[in-house]
Amino acid sequence: GIGRAVAVALSKAGARVTALSRTAADLESLKRECPGIEPLCLDLADWEAVEAAVGAAGPFELLVNNAAVAELQPFLQVTRSALQRSFDVNFGAVLHVSQIVARQMIAQGVQGAIVNVSSQASKRALRDHAVYCSTKSALDMLSKVMAMELGPHKIRVNTVNPTVVMTDMGRINWSDPQKSAAMINRIPLGKFAEVDDVVNSILFLLSDKSAMTTGSSLMIDGGFLVS
């Protein structure tokens, strides 16, 4: 939900948008909604295919890394496959796509911006989220190192760190009143984030209005971390 909404918002703002997903039906639906968007159907775990396709689709001035998986398991039951897939998508794919795009930016002399979609789970332990929390913590630190090394090339790198977001998936996963109440009670604003809350923050970090911001994590958590 977040990735689609970002793509639509950027397209409506006049950007030339390339949307990457491994789900062809989602890309076809997006293309019908915004005919100007260029779809790219890829599995981010396939490094060679990503290298070729993203390299050919560029160069880009802006990048949003949003793809992620959440395989929730109690710590004692974490499987190797869940560990590997989670780090491949939530961390490895971000590193790889960012490398490709940043090299293009540097070659073109572009003062670019990269936003990585992280989570409040990078900052606070959550039950059954051992792997997910760890991948998002790793993503936060990767983003800081990227900001340090890409800064001299005038490329900014930041993360947004939302709480639970009311995407279609979010509404399903948090439909149990008992489960949702336990989380909402820890959020001072007393509600979960809407998709637009995240999209607007991403657009801010991509824009010149945040020209002096890099290496930062923008919390979109309703105050979750202060409680």
Give the 3-state secondary structure of 27-94. HHHHHHHCCCCEEEECCCCCHHHHHHHHHHHCCCCEEEECCCCCCCECHHHCCHHHHHHHHHHHHHHH
Q: Give the N- to C-terminal CA distance of the chain in Å, as an integer.
A: 27
Known active-site residue 132: yes
Q: Active site residue: 60, 91, 132, 192, which one? A: 132
- Per-residue DSSP letter, 224: G
Per the document, the length of the chain is 227
C-beta of residue 66 within 8 angstroms of C-beta of residue 47: no
Structure tokens at 38: 């260029």
Distances in Å between the alpha carbon of 159 and those of 62, 84, 189, 211? Answer: 14, 22, 21, 14
Active site residues: 132
